[in-house]
Structure 1
């Protein structure tokens, strides 16, 4: 991936296929349930209507692609509202985004953002994105390889296209609009698509596609955060290369802790809420992995503080605050337990080694 934001249109990978070893196991993240609540629907009611167990909401049960389709059909039937697809993604707050979406939001450009979305989506669900450059246009299409011949619900297609659009709008801080949308379905009254997307909508088309302007792909993201990307991207790339379907519980807990730690003291209930599961379920999963929440918090603080101290512009007291220590004495005691030395001595040695390598 070219990280400069100056790559040519044709450099965008064409088809992000799921691994040949992938299984049809979808873990619906907390952002999904937050989206349901944002549009006024109860997760429990939606699951009951879809004939799925409530353990899907607690995070204890995966769903298949056909079951995911059933959930989206239930959303439409329960709401009776054709606008629910795009509203679902447009009304979710950014701070509720799953770590894979945060990696896309904090990319350098719109082009890099949608590429990260396409790559990392494979870790959460069996979706395949295809990008097709045509002149001054880029066609974005999505498919579900485990659909078993079942057509995807129209609200799900709307939600995916809205997600791609929202990333562009929130990343660039502008009212970015696609060039047009092509849909295989017939037109439906009051679906709000033209108003929300701000572009023409072509119905009864030969494909379902979101058509972007190639020039828009080079737009820089005001939300770019290289520090966060360096924290998240290597883990996602490793999981993709190893063929894992989704990050394990411990990795998810650490991602959330890294997001919550700045100046606060996150506890297990806070993390469980972010993951969309009960305190008891999260505690059991952590125990099954042979560790404790306290140990995970300690490891996360250690990883983060090494990162902060490696940056000479970050004061030691600030680094302590950023990993949740308000008392300097407690921080120095913890750091000596981790590294066997003081933060200042560790930083000096680290920067000296870095200077010699360069």
Structure 2
């Protein structure tokens, strides 16, 4: 079996410049997380180190809301990494966000899911690690930057319609002033919701010539990264992080992989698997993982693995394990 997506994360050079501009020294951050100052020039870290850096920034800045806004707005456009440059110079806000969602796959540990429904568009962050281990300030800055991208690209003072955070974010009033909307704390997910009309706003920073250079290189890098894992593992990984949105369909997964449904079906067949089989495996594996967490009740677990009601989850679990979720949990908790 091949490994899951890489645990190597590259810190963008502009991150350290951004910290310096708001009065936070790189050596203070490095000292707090027991890393060498070479982190600035050799910026490859593990997920644990990446989270520790953000925790350190949060502690040093003190005021979390202030730290979110200052870094999101202070990051210089000229220091954007190539993946972000390709979004800043997109045709419009929709194009920018679609590119962001696609290229985020090369930048663990978070991914971005964009959903257009009715008059609204939601941008939801999904984490490869336990969401509770993710520094709240990183969640806040990521959503703030997505709005900042739209503001810079369109040249308009865009406002969100609502923002949801699963963890406390400091001074909510300060953040509401920045986002231009009400903020909910303690939700199940982290989402930025805004008017779907904003997606059609053209970017004044649109640069077709630059995109013609950047896009092929980024797409090649993404495809190379995806080919380093088997297609069955990659599909199952995508499924697991989208189960809470309901039953993942092959059209959505194929689109995220940048291929047609027919190509995805063919490649799964070549690896002697199928979309339906992988979905069952993903739900089964996630159910077992969640059941060994005593803080989750079974009704919540049913939702987390994509079932609309608890009875459907019970029937499925009995087929998988020959037992009820409650009995399985009781007999396996002592093993972990």
TM-score by length of 1: 0.59
**Is residue 69 of structure 2 the alignment partner of residue 86 of structure 1?**
yes
- Structure 1, residues 91-136: CA drift from partner, whole Å, max 9, x if none? 1121121121111000001011011112223334332111223321
Larger radius of gyration: 1
Determine which of 223, 226, 230 is the counterpart of 2:208.
226
Q: Any residues of structure 2 matched to 1:63-102 within 5 Å, and which?
A: 63-82=45-64, 83-102=66-85
Q: What's 2:29 paired with?
A: 46
- Residues 103 and 233 of structure 1 are in contact (CA less than 8 Å); yes or no, is this contact kept in structure 2? yes
Per the alignment, in what secondary structure is the counterpart of residue 133 of structure 2?
A: coil
Runs of 5+ consecutive residues of structure 1 not aligned to the other structure? 1-18, 246-358
Q: Any residues of structure 2 matched to 1:96-115 within 5 Å, and which?
A: 96-115=79-98
Q: How many angstroms apart in 2 are the aligned matches of 1:191 and 1:47?
A: 31
Q: What's 1:199 paired with?
A: 181
Q: How many angstroms apart in 1 are the aligned matches of 2:46 and 2:36?
A: 13
Q: How many angstroms apart in 2 are the aligned matches of 1:188 and 1:97?
A: 27
Per the alignment, in what secondary structure is the counterpart of residue 112 of structure 2?
A: strand
Task: Report how far residue 191 of structure 1 moved.
Answer: 6.3
Q: Any residues of structure 2 matched to 1:271-350 within 5 Å, and which?
A: none
Q: How many angstroms apart in 2 are the aligned matches of 1:65 and 1:129?
A: 17
CA RMSD of aligned residues (A): 2.1
Per the alignment, in what secondary structure is the counterpart of residue 99 of structure 2?
A: helix
Q: What's 1:243 paired with?
A: 225
- Residues 136 and 168 of structure 2 are in contact (CA less than 8 Å); yes or no, is this contact kept in structure 1? no
Q: How many angstroms apart in 1 are the aligned matches of 2:144 and 2:91?
A: 20
Q: How many angstroms apart in 1 are the aligned matches of 2:121 and 2:161?
A: 9
Which structure's residues are more often helix, by fraction?
2
- CA 1:62–1:191 in structure 2 vs 1: closer, same or farther (change >3 Å)? farther
Aligned length: 225
Q: How many angstroms apart in 2 are the aligned matches of 1:240 and 1:156?
A: 23
TM-score by length of 2: 0.63
Task: Report how far residue 148 of structure 1 moved.
Answer: 5.1
**Is residue 113 of structure 2 the alignment partner of residue 130 of structure 1?**
yes
Task: Report how far residue 21 of structure 1 moved.
Answer: 5.1
Runs of 5+ consecutive residues of structure 2 not aligned to the other structure? 228-336
Determine which of 158, 167, 180 is the counterpart of 2:149.
167
- CA 1:202–1:190 in structure 2 vs 1: closer, same or farther (change >3 Å)? closer
